[in-house]
Amino acid sequence: MLDWRHSHADRQAAVRRPGTATDSHISAGSHTIEVRISRISQLFNSLDPSPFRSRDLDPDAEEHIVGWAQELPMGEPIEIAVHLPRTQLGHAQEMELEQSILNYFQERTRKYERDLREHFLNGWRYLAIGLPLLCICLLSSQLAASALGHGAIARVVEESLIIVGWVANWKPIETFLYGWWPILRTRNLFRQLSCAEVRIIADHPPDAGGVVPTP
């Protein structure tokens, strides 16, 4: 069984840097993520009933590719080099393997774009609740001060209402200031992968089945 856990140093060593490619099939000037498989089916989720070109990647294969991509500078070109046995080359061409991989990352990009829109839509919903509540709490605190005088109880009620009003607005504040950054980062990562150049390279099969990084 393959171990998918790799250290940061392993990833830095395994991902080719621009101008360091030694394989004539690999394009200089791009960061290359290399994947070795013995069967095309190892790349895709066997439980997904969708047509081949729309099928999800296998979770381990996605984790492998995305994990390497996270180590690369954002916005720079990526190449995904898929090494497979020569006996699988005809099947890869028939199934349009390159486009199938890109289709998956394009769909993931669209998914996170929808998530980002939904995130901001929820933020406006939170704000539509929080702002009126803040106004009500501020007004109520003034009324409480007028009705109860300047004693300790009046001060506690007044400040409690103000705190409740601001706490009610923490969620929209978090949504608009902080919550969208992880979604945007993930969207941009999948967009970068969806623009990658995918190369199919006929190679000898690996010693064990699975998707493994090139040492």
- Report if residue 212 sits inside a domain: no
State residue 75's pLDDT score: 82
Q: Tell me the sheet residues that pair with 81.
A: 34, 199
Do 140 and 162 belong to one domain? yes
In a domain, 35, yes or no: yes
pLDDT of residue 174: 94
> 103 and 54, same structural domain?
yes
Low-confidence ranges of the chain (pLDDT < 50): 1-26, 205-215
User: Is 120 found in the same domain as 91?
Assistant: no
Against a cut of 0.75, is the pTM above it? no
Residue 33 belongs to domain spanning: 8-109+196-203
Domain co-membership, 120 together with 89: no
Quote the CA–CA distance of 65 and 188 in Å, as a whole number. Answer: 15
Amino acid at 94: E
Domain count, the chain: 2
**pLDDT attached to residue 8:** 40
pLDDT of residue 142: 85
Residues pairing with 79 in the sheet: 32, 197
Burial (CB < 10 A; 0-12, 13-18, 19+), residue 55, is buried
